[in-house]
Amino acid sequence: MAGTLRSVQFRREREAGWRRLEELVGRAEKKGLKALSADELFELPQLYRGSLSGLSVARSISLDANVVEYMESLCARAYFVIYAGRQAATKPIQTFFLHRLPSVIRRAWLEIAVAALITLLGTVAGYSLTMQNSNWFYTFVSSQMAQGRSPEASTEDLKAVIDGSKKTTTTPLEIFAVALFAHNAQIGMFAFALGFAFGIPTVWLLFVNGTTLGAFLGLYASRGLGLELGGWLLIHGSTELFAVILCGGAGLAIARSFVFPSLMGRLESLAESGQRAATIVIGAVMMFLVAGLLEGFARQLVSDTTTRYAIACGMLVLWLGYFTLIGRGASNAPVQAQES
Amino acid sequence: MRLFKRKNPKPPVRRGPSGRVARDLVTPEGVALTIQLADIGERAGALMLDLFFMAVAMVAMTIGIIVFGGVIRSPFAAMVGAILLMFLLRSFYFTLFEIRWQGQTPGKRIMHLLVINRSGGRLTTDAILARNLMREVEIFLPLSLLGLAGAAGGSAGWTVLSAIVWVGILVLLPFFNRDKLRAGDLIAGTIVVHKPKALLVADLAGAEARGVEPRAAQPRYHFTQAQLDVYGIYELQTLESLLRRGKLGGSENLVVVAERIARKIKWTGNEFRTDSFNFLNDYYVALRSRLEGQMLMGRRRESKHDAA
């Protein structure tokens, strides 16, 4: 009588397939799908579907708790191996730079514009206050950051910093550049991550960043050195500020999808915008690398103000052109596929 | 799941066999798989392991850089390498491992955890980036705040305190939602699950279980329908786990249970006291056959309290 139990018969017929799937999945878990041969890769989804239908049958006819539990775990493991793995793209780096990054940045243009506006407001505030009363400078710029460039310093000293005749730091250029890159990139990631707090810290960070810039401009402008400082700052600043604004825009995009979710609902919309924002941040990290190189090398090597402005404008045009023109049209299909 | 308004009353939390919270995930084939969510303790353990590995890597790198700098006689180049490597390690340790190892880091692998897409699709590189960039405020900000709180007294104290409260809320976020999502999981649409590993053992109703020839597997005890209608599925599966454990030794329990069942079903005869394993196994097979038969007719008797 025992032998005629349906669930026993069912298991006897299917067990070989389950064991085979378990073996393949076990190997793929340890060494990745590369450990499987072409035939085995072909076999895997078939065995998986068979086991999945087996699970449905087992749930409805078998009361053997061990079999049902085993099937649940086997199917989940196979599912993880087959579906839950990372999406493998063809030419991932090329797709990222030529389609994904610029198109994602274009989609967040409103948040990026708002981030730029906040930075501008901060700069104007810092500039006008410092112009009125140079004591405001100390409010916006810490002494550690000023490195002697304060209202107390003589105009000659201030000038010496920007034309490169006086070194602000004794560390060699390479270290300076790399340390700046790492520091700025982390600030950028911060601006992104803080978007989670409804964007309030992001707005604050962007504004403060603007006031510091404005305070320096105000100090130098009050000594008639505004134009020279502009060149000194913007040679890397056009890239660096742009990257900070992109990160801020990414943070604001997260906040926006959380406070004003789309039709998908709050969590889904947060997840979707979070992934896009992360893409922007990775783009910005690479911009910080470029900015660090410009700041560490180009600024110290090029001391002519006109050339500095030319490099600054050139970089800005380059970035704007890249983000607005590249990957239009044909980009839609792969981007949609990645986001789904 | 909604964060702010909940239209429907909260369904009860389901728990899997191991006590972890269970959640249904519908595969593209349309079958609902039961997924076990990772415990907060397991995730904290995996994080500790990963931070430990990072610390070890940093020490190893520092030593390597010092040696390397000495060999190439350029301490500056070594410094550049050190700063870059530290930055990469801090910002991309989790990201690179989760990309290379299909959603696992060394710590997660040891704890049998896995990151998957919450809605059942593929795990994208963007999602991995998003969930790990968030660690800047979830791990590294609290760490630097601790240092700041130690250094700053007085005026900066309030700023630091409010920042600590905010970060505290962020860090404790997994305790306050059903899917145990941290902020990074929220913005990436991911979920951390436990990788199941159940073994298939011999069927108690099959001949192999008793280690005898199929011909000899005929039951020694026969039960009437009334005797089988005493119990339901819950009791059947409790008996199953008892028999599986009983086969490994410890037969005193079997005698006690056999006596109780015999009393309950009004079994006449005494031989089950010395032969309790076979008695219980035969009862198990007969009961399962009866309950599975009922199931085919569309009736599931969950426990002895359900009507037969």
pTM over 0.90: no
**Cβ <8 Å between A1 and B219:** yes
Domain count of the fold of chain A: 2
Whether A8 is in a domain gets the answer no
Shared domain check, A257 and A321: yes
Name the residue among A220, A237, A248, A244 with its Cα closest to residue A126. A220
Q: Which of A8, A72, A340 sits opposite B205 (nearest CB)?
A: A8
Taking only residues 89 to 118 of chain A, the set having a beta carbon closer than 8 angstroms to any beta carbon of chain B reads: 89, 92
* Domain final position from A37, A63, A84: A84
For residue B292, list chain A residues with Cβ-Cβ distance below 8 A. 5-7, 61-63
Percent of chain A scoring above 70 in pLDDT:
86
What is the per-residue pLDDT for A162?
67
Shared domain check, A303 and A201: yes
Q: What is the pLDDT of residues B104-155, one digit of tens each?
A: 899 999 999 999 888 877 888 888 988 998 887 787 776 676 665 555 444 4
Shared domain check, A30 and A169: no
**Cβ <8 Å between B218 and A189:** no
Whether A9 is in a domain gets the answer no
**Cβ <8 Å between B200 and A19:** yes
Shared domain check, A190 and A44: no
Task: Please tell me if residue A219 touches chain B, with a CB cutoff of 8 Å.
Answer: no
Half-sphere CA count of B80, side-chain side, radius 13 A = 14
**Cβ <8 Å between B205 and A56:** no
Shared domain check, A305 and A207: yes
* Domain final position from A53, A84, A115: A84
How near does any CA of chain A get to the CA of B275, in Å?
19
How near does any CA of chain A get to the CA of B120, in Å?
7
What is the per-residue pLDDT for A84?
66
How near does any CA of chain B get to the CA of A307, in Å?
28
Shared domain check, A73 and A101: no
How near does any CA of chain B get to the CA of A312, in Å?
25
Taking the domains of chain B in order of start, what are their residue ranges? 22-129+178-194, 207-296
Shared domain check, A106 and A38: no
Whether A61 is in a domain gets the answer yes
Chain A residue closest to B217 (CA)?
A2
**Cβ <8 Å between B200 and A85:** no
Neighbouring CB atoms inside 10 A of B297's CB total 6
Q: What is the pLDDT of residues A268-317, one digit of tens each?
A: 888 888 889 999 998 998 898 888 888 877 877 777 888 888 988 999 99
Distance CA B19, CA B42 (A): 13
Which residue spans within B142-266 are E strands per DSSP?
Answer: 190-194
Shared domain check, A107 and A71: no
Full residue range of the structural domain in which residue A284 is found: 92-339
Buried/exposed B180-209: b ≥16 CB within 10 Å, e otherwise: bbbbbbbbbbbbbbbbbebebeebbbbbeb
Q: Note whether ipTM > 0.90 here.
A: no
CB distance B116 to B190 below 8 Å: yes
Distance CA B64, CA A188 (A): 29
Q: Which of B33, B166, B241 sits opposite A76 (nearest CB)?
A: B33
Q: What is the pLDDT of residues B242-267, one digit of tens each?
A: 888 776 666 667 788 888 888 888 88
* Domain final position from A35, A62, A84: A84
Shared domain check, A198 and A130: yes
